[in-house]
Structure 1
Amino acid sequence: MEAIILSAQQYKELVNRLDVLNKKLEEKQKSPNDTFLDNQEFLQLMNISKRTAQSWRDEGKVSFSQIGSKIYYRMSDVQKLLDKNYKQAFSSKKRNY
């Protein structure tokens, strides 16, 4: 094994870089429930039109936040919408005729 010698300054820089990378990784690993989607991302994720999204908001199917004209959806609310409309698969019994 080869030994590498670092000066105190180089060591501090290396540790600082590792701290920055660690913080970035922690941010990426945040729970998806803490994530917000803007309206465009929501439309793409759900593959729906603006009008459908508006209807869902009006009908109270999905919660949202609005700041000015900008609309945001919490990922946990999108998950609730999908869970609420989840349909269990039918049992596949073979019929004998």
Structure 2
Amino acid sequence: MEAIIITKHEFDKVIDKLDSIVAELNKHRDAPSISEKWLTNKQVCALLRVSLRTLQRYRDEGHIAFSQIGSTIRYKASDVEQFLHSNYNPVFNTDNPRL
């Protein structure tokens, strides 16, 4: 096994380079992906178990994000999931054993 000895200055340069690589990787990891799944009106209605009219009301009132090109409307799967989580109501009556 061969040992390599470097100066503190060279070591600091290597560490700085590694830090810049990690920062660049983190920037790309946090960037939104165009390959994220996009859902149709029909798919979102089925997931939320609501009518098309109710889904339209959610859009009109700004409750759920969407993208529209012409008459085609799509929803990011992550936005639908966020909508579900933001409307989550935990159990509030723990005294009733039947719940």
State the match for 1:27 in structure 2: none
Point out which structure has higher relative CO (alpha carbons under 8 A, 6+ apart).
1
Gaps of 5+ in 1: 1-32
Q: Note if 1:69 corresponds to 2:71.
A: yes
Q: What is the Cα deviation at residue 91 of structure 1?
A: 4.6
State the match for 2:41 in structure 1: 39
Q: What is the Cα deviation at residue 87 of structure 1?
A: 0.8
Count of matched residue positions in the alignment of Structure 1 and Structure 2: 63
Q: What is the Cα deviation at residue 64 of structure 1?
A: 0.2
Gaps of 5+ in 2: 1-34
Give TM-score, length-normalised by structure 2: 0.57
Paired residue secondary structure (2:74):
strand
**Distance in structure 2 (CA, Å) of the matches to 1:79 and 1:91:** 25
Q: What is the Cα deviation at residue 45 of structure 1?
A: 1.5
Question: After the TM superposition, which segments of 4 or more aligned residues of structure 1 sit over 3 Å from their partners?
Answer: none
Give the letter for the 2:71 counterpart.
S
Q: What is the Cα deviation at residue 92 of structure 1?
A: 1.6
State the identity %: 42
Q: What is the Cα deviation at residue 93 of structure 1?
A: 2.6
Paired residue secondary structure (2:64):
coil
